[in-house]
């Protein structure tokens, strides 16, 4: 997922500017309602990277403070030799926070806009990972999706992805 991932999606949408971006600091505010559904551990599908490698992500998301306008995450990305996510992987990790910034519509899905701030990255490509980026989070049919985070992926006027990465969903464990 997410978060330090790459890929592309197929759901298009337009910016929704009618929402309060922070939701305040109350644990009962819009941010808490928007973000509490993401708490827990999520595991992605096995993604065939190419004819020789596959990858699978496990992300653990927890509350980052009393206000629930921010979440803490740790993402473990396992890259396997072979296309079935089996054997001994090379593992990279990233940790940081998501800060709720409002909602927008992507296709038929209402998604949450977040700012991702990385606190630490331990991965072979760590030098090319942006330390702060704008992303999307959505749960559709009990699966967690993120925005398309490739550098070349289309962005809206505010810098958020215009697509969800529909090929790489995660399921709550």
Using the predicted structure, report yes or no on whether residue 11 has a pLDDT greater than 80: no
Average pLDDT for the chain = 81
Q: What is the pTM of this model?
A: 0.78
Give the C-alpha separation, 60 to 123, whole Å.
17
Query: Binning pLDDT at 50, 70 and 90, where does residue 31 land?
Result: confident
What confidence tens digit (pLDDT) does each residue in 86-115 have? 999 999 999 999 999 999 999 999 999 999
Q: Which two tokens stand for residue 131?
A: 């330390």
Tell me which CATH code domain 30-172 carries: 2.40.128
Our measurement of the distance from residue 2's CA atom to the centroid of its chain's CA atoms, rounded to an integer in Å, reads 3
- The Cα-based distances of 169 to 5, 36, 147, 148, 156 in angstroms read 12, 18, 11, 12, 22
Residues 6+ apart with CB under 8 A from 146: 1, 2, 3, 5, 135, 136, 137, 138, 164, 165, 168
CA distances (Å), 86 to each of 41, 83, 168, 171, in order?
20, 8, 17, 18
């Amino acid at each position: 997922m997410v978060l330090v991932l790459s890929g592309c999606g197929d759901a298009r949408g337009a910016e929704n500017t009618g929402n309060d971006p922070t939701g305040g600091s109350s644990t009962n505010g819009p941010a808490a309602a928007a973000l509490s559904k993401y708490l827990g551990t999520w595991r992605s599908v096995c993604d065939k990277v190419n004819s020789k490698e596959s990858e699978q992500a496990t992300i653990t998301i927890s509350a980052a403070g009393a206000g629930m306008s921010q979440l803490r995450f740790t993402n473990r990305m396992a890259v396997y030799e072979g296309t079935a996510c089996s054997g001994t992987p090379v593992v990279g990790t990233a940790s940081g926070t998501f800060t709720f910034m409002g909602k927008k519509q992507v296709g038929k899905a209402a998604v949450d806009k977040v700012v991702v701030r990385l606190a630490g990255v331990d991965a072979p490509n760590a030098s090319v990972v942006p330390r702060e980026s704008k992303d999307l989070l959505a749960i559709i049919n009990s699966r967690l999706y993120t925005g398309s985070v490739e550098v070349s992926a289309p962005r809206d006027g505010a810098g958020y992805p215009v697509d969800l990465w529909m090929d790489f969903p995660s399921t709550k464990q």
